[in-house]
Amino acid sequence: EDQVTQSPEALRLQEGESSSLNCSYTVSGLRGLFWYRQDPGKGPEFLFTLYSAGEEKEKERLKATLTKKESFLHITAPKPEDSATYLCAVWSGGSNYKLTFGKGTLLTVNP
Partner 1 sequence: DSGVTQTPKHLITATGQRVTLRCSPRSGDLSVYWYQQSLDQGLQFLIQYYNGEERAKGNILERFSAQQFPDLHSELNLSSLELGDSALYFCASSVGGQGAREQYFGPGTRLTVT
Examine residue 100 and tell whether it contacts partner 1 (CB under 8 A).
yes
Which segment (14-22, 56-64, 71-79, 98-106) binds partner 1 by CB under 8 A?
Answer: 98-106
Instruction: Write out the H or E segment, with its range, that includes residue 74.
Output: strand 70-75
**Residue 42 found at the interface with partner 1 (CB under 8 A):** yes
Among 5, 9, 60, 97, binds partner 1 (CB under 8 A): 97
Nearer to partner 1, 72 or 101 (CB): 101
- Residue 108 gets which letter from DSSP? E
**CA dist., res. 51 & res. 10, Å (int):** 26
C-beta neighbour count of 98 within 10 angstroms: 15
The verdict on 57 binding partner 1 (CB under 8 A) reads no
Binding site for partner 1 (CB under 8 A): 31-32, 34, 36, 41-46, 49, 87, 89, 91, 95-104
